[in-house]
Homo-oligomer: A and B are copies of this chain.
Amino acid sequence: MHSSHAEDKGRTGTAEALLGLLSIHPMSGYELRQLIEESIGNFWNESYGQIYPTLKRLERNGLVRMGEPSGKGRRPAKVYELTEKGREHLQGWLEIPAQRRVPRNELLLKLFFGDMGTTAQVRSQVQAFRDLHQRDLKRYEIKARSIASEYANVPAMPYWLMTLNFGRAESRAMLAWCDETLQACDAIDEQRRHQSSGEVASGPMELPRNEEHDAVG
């Protein structure tokens, strides 16, 4: 076990994201933010409020150092570069199993309580989600082609493609789920129409409201 990771108790990867990008080439905090958006922006984000303090901390700990300021006439940017220690830290971190945190999926929360509203509401939520993924999928396809050709000789390229393919697989699955779910909404409406014509026979059953209830799961 790397002792350099012993003190990283609650850290979630902010430092490593910065170190990783600095391993591509030295750059400033400002440039880091830009690059985050256009490279790992689909699955990771950092704000300036995180970036600048983290860079200072990394410098104090000797994982990065300041390099040549990029002047070019304008106010020179503080360019940070990875140190050997930083590189080792990054490599050690790759070894640590990534942990999943429970995501907070607002869409699913709304769907779970969908019976409190209308099928129209649920449909519109699902449709909006579908539109997003449709758009994402297109973006992924385009980007995958462009980086495959543009970085054909860059050794890191296959890894970048992996993360893009993750997005593609996810979005494709989500599109299918949306269609299935929209159909389920139809089925619910269908069901209700049948029920209301034979009203008296079988009304909807309620969950028991006393304390000796069944669990939902």
Contact = CB atoms under 8 A, between A and B. Distances in A.
Interface of A: 12-13, 16-17, 20, 23-26, 34-35, 38-45, 70, 72, 87, 90-91, 93-95, 97-117, 121-122, 124-125, 128-129, 132, 143, 147, 150, 153-156, 158-163, 165-166, 169-170, 172-174, 176-177, 180-181, 184, 187-188, 202, 204-211, 213-217
Is chain A's binding surface mostly helix, strand, loop or mixed? helix
Give the most central of A16, A156, A210: most B CB within 10 Å: A156
Give the most central of A70, A112, A210: most B CB within 10 Å: A112
B100 A132 contact: yes
A177 B164 CA distance: 11
A39 B217 contact: yes
